Amino acid sequence: MANLGFVGLGVMGGRIAKRLLDAGHRVTGYNRTKSKADWLVDQGLRLADTPREVAAAADVVLSMVTDTTALEAVTEGDDGILAGLTSGKIYVDMSTVSPARSRELAGRVAGKGAAMLDAPVSGSVTTLEKGQLSIMVGGDGEVLHRVRPVLEAIGPRVIHIGGNGQAVLIKTAINLNLAVQITAFSEGLLIAEKGGIPREVAVEAMLASVIASPSLEYRSPFLFELPKEAWFDVNMMQKDMLLALEAGRAFGVPMPTSAAVNELLSAARGIGVEKEDFAVIYHTLARFSGVDRELRSNDT
């Protein structure tokens, strides 16, 4: 039983905090919009007023926020996580952010006498609720050993990637595939539909073929109806694509497919569906193809 803190109780972060509570841990949490964490308070979470309060109350503090800017917002300043860290504490950031920024933050955490790991996850709401998330970790192996039981309460596979920043780098490499896969799947599905094959039949056949993957399978229902609450919206997906393109430029790796998909995400934003799950790529292409004109957006 550990004394934990969790900053960022959104779609994924809130459900992770719930798993930690269910595992018997004490959890102090913070979310910018407090009302969104009310359901966790009912489950036993203690809600704090600032990230600093969370870090001060916990031996291990975790965070999961949207991007690098949001990470800076919860770590910096008098009310930030850094201000609440003291010697011997461990900070685990599960966000997908700039590897360079993550490494820089790890250095500042070390300056407080604490230790930091970057530990983004691979999976979705579905895999999280089934206890099937995988967690990639960057940082010192001994620190990971100390918090491994906490991480294994979130997901059964915990993989040490390397030093600080390396886990968010591999997470970026993984996530670019999600948007590329759904784009290729959507293109294939649309030519089948326009050729007279019902969408349901085409999806069934494609998911029974060699192209099937876990990410396509759990998002395939969104090709018929988008979720009321996005699991991972267009803005978040494009943030990760831009991180991937930045890495490609830094390492001299051509990224033609990622660049094209990034432009498609810009098109989705342009028609007002940036808050929808990124599976809206299919609906965006369908709209452009004249197949689906019933797309939720800000302009309809």
Q: What is the pLDDT of residue 16?
A: 95
Q: Which residues of the chain register pLDDT less than 50?
A: 296-300
Q: What is the pLDDT of residue 44?
A: 94
Q: Do 262 and 234 touch, CB atoms closer than 8 A?
A: no
Compute the Cα dihedral for 235, 135, 43, 57 and give only its sign.
negative
d(CA 86, CA 110): 10
What DSSP assignment string belongs to 53-112?
A: HHHHH-SEEEE--SSHHHHHHHHSSTTSHHHH--TT-EEEE-S---HHHHHHHHHHHHHT
**Amino acid in position 158:** V
Q: What is the pLDDT of residue 292?
A: 61
Q: Do 160 and 141 touch, CB atoms closer than 8 A?
A: yes
Which of 257, 50, 250 is CA-nearest to residue 165?
Answer: 250
d(CA 169, CA 98): 8
**Amino acid in position 299:** D
Q: What is the pLDDT of residue 297?
A: 42
Q: What is the pLDDT of residue 300?
A: 37
Q: What is the pLDDT of residue 265?
A: 97
d(CA 240, CA 176): 7
**Amino acid in position 291:** V
**What is the Cα 101 distance to its own chain's centre?**
17
Q: What class does CATH assign to 169-289?
A: mainly alpha
Which of 290, 282, 291, 175 is CA-nearest to residue 225?
Answer: 282
Q: How many CB atoms within 10 Å of residue 41?
A: 12
Provide the whole-model pTM: 0.88
Adjacent-strand bridge partners of 115: 90
- CATH superfamily to which 3-163 belongs: NAD(P)-binding Rossmann-like Domain (3.40.50.720)
Which residue do the tokens 């991972």 mark?
A: 232
Which of 230, 297, 239, 220 is CA-nearest to residue 10?
Answer: 230
**Structural domain boundaries of the chain?**
3-163, 169-289
d(CA 31, CA 46): 11
Q: Do 206 and 189 touch, CB atoms closer than 8 A?
A: yes
236-281 pLDDT tens trace = 999 999 999 999 999 999 999 999 999 999 999 999 999 999 999 9
Q: Do 137 and 157 touch, CB atoms closer than 8 A?
A: no
d(CA 264, CA 280): 10
